[in-house]
Amino acid sequence: MDFRSFQSSSVIDPIKLQYAIVNSDSLTVLKSMQNDTIDLIMSSPPYNIGKAYEEKTSIENYIETQEEIISHLVRVLSDTGSICWQVGNYVNKGEVFPLDIFYYEIFKKHGLQLRNRIIWRFGHGLHASNRFSGRYETILWFTKTDDYTFNLDSVRVPSKYPGKRHFKGPKKGQLSGNPLGKNPSDIWTTIKEDWDSEIWDIPNVKANHPEKTVHPCQFPVELVERCVLALTNENDWVMDPFAGVGSTSIAALKNKRNTICIDKEAEYCEMALERIKKLEQGFLKTRPIGKKIHQPSINDKVAAVPNEWVNLDIFGVYK
Ligand SMILES: C[S@@+](CC[C@H](N)C(=O)[O-])C[C@H]1O[C@@H](n2cnc3c(N)ncnc32)[C@H](O)[C@@H]1O
């Protein structure tokens, strides 16, 4: 593997790390890797839905190919390590196959333990007409052993009621929360709302998200950052076997972790390298972790009920 060194341009907090962007088939690369070397594997695999970078096949063939890759992922994962597998649905002739159900079986068969099934919720997307519109995907978080890294304090979020106190018992009157914030829970409403509303090109909202590249299904850096911060320590190794334009590696390097990124498409690997260079020079724009989600204001024209609908008495949802 061809490793490069990453040295941030920051004078206040300079960092030295290693990274590799490998333009290859992930199974080939994984076969050459040593056991127990990676602390976090975070990825969004192809969903077998006929995107430009994949050939659609039967669900059985798809799962069989993925299983061979997963057996190597489990082998290269350290004993304190985690795998975060971000997936949605495979849809065939209108029938929905939730991929996490299929993947759960595979990871379990290879001895991993599920710690959370995280719901990544978003407010925009395709509008279905023969079923309810899908507005979430999942991240399966598995560990290899019971002795896994989990830094909850690194990812706490502001509590809704920080002033809440115990109202009875020996702690009566004392603050009941944690000054560092609360557990972010297993439902994550991160960037996707902003992300989609911005790329849907809605008037009054910026037309381009700062992270958007040529890739058709990039995940937001912020989503990976939460996993990197909670499940690894500084100088650990983070890998993505289906890396696209390198969002996992960006999140890793940004937070002082070494990283390996594999993708079979040269164009995406070049883009990943370009993004890493920009990060190194301090120019890469990413959405800050924990930034509030865009809420349309009542003065926002597209958020108001149009006059044409106000007097319609169909189902009354806008009354
Ligand atoms: C869902 S995308 C991942 C996007 C990524 N999370 C990002 O933020 O850019 C899946 C990626 O897997 C890559 N891929 C598919 N099969 C592969 C294989 N056998 N080996 C390596 N990469 C593969 C595709 O080129 C695609 O970029």
Give the tens place of pLDDT for each residue, 51-99. Answer: 777 788 888 888 899 999 999 999 999 999 999 999 999 888 899 999 9
pLDDT per residue over 220-272, tens digit each? 898 899 999 999 999 999 999 999 999 999 999 999 999 999 999 999 999 99
Q: What is the pLDDT at residue 207?
A: 36
Model confidence pLDDT, tens digit, residues 270-309:
999 999 999 999 988 777 766 665 566 666 776 676 777 6
Q: ∠ at Cα 213 (211, 218), nearest 5°? A: 75
204 — pLDDT class (breaks 50, 70, 90) = very low
Q: Which domains does the chain have, with CATH numbers?
A: 4-310 (3.40.50.150)
CA distance 155 to 139: 16
79 within 8 A of 144, measured Cβ to Cβ: yes
Q: How many helices (H) and strands (E) does the chain have?
A: 8, 11
In whole angstroms, what is the distance from residue 109 CA to residue 127 CA?
A: 36
User: Atom 27 of ligand 1 has which residue's CA nearest to it?
Assistant: 244
pLDDT for res 9: 80
φ/ψ of 258, rounded to 5, equals -75, 160
Output the residue whose Cα is nearest ligand 1's atom 22.
Answer: 263
**Helix, strand or coil, per DSSP, at residue 99:** helix
Among residues 95, 54, 108, the alpha carbon closest in space to that of 242 is found at 54
Count, residues in the chain: 319
Res. 169 pLDDT band, cuts 50 70 90: very high
CA 42, 18, 76: angle at the middle one, nearest 5? 45
- Take atom 7 of ligand 1 and give the residue whose Cα is closest: 218
Percent of the chain with pLDDT over 70: 86
> What local confidence, expressed as pLDDT, does residue 293 receive?
54
- Protein residue with least CA distance to atom 24, ligand 1: 53
Protein residues with CB under 6 Å of any ligand 1 atom: 25-26, 44, 46, 53-54, 215, 217-219, 242-245, 247, 262-265, 268
Q: Please give the distance, rounded to the nearest whole angstrom, from the Cα atom of residue 133 to the centre of ligand 1.
A: 25
Q: Cα(45) to centroid of ligand 1, in Å? A: 6
- What share of the chain in percent tops pLDDT 90? 58
Dihedral sign, Cα of residue 241, residue 244, residue 248, residue 253: positive
pTM for this predicted structure: 0.88
Contacts by residues 169-175 (CB-CB < 8 Å, ≥ 24 positions apart) = none
- pLDDT per residue over 12-30, tens digit each? 788 899 999 999 999 999 9
**What is 171-185 written as a DSSP string?**
TTTSB-S-TT-B---
Pocket test for ligand 1, best of 31, 53, 225, 287 (most atoms within 8 A of CB): 53
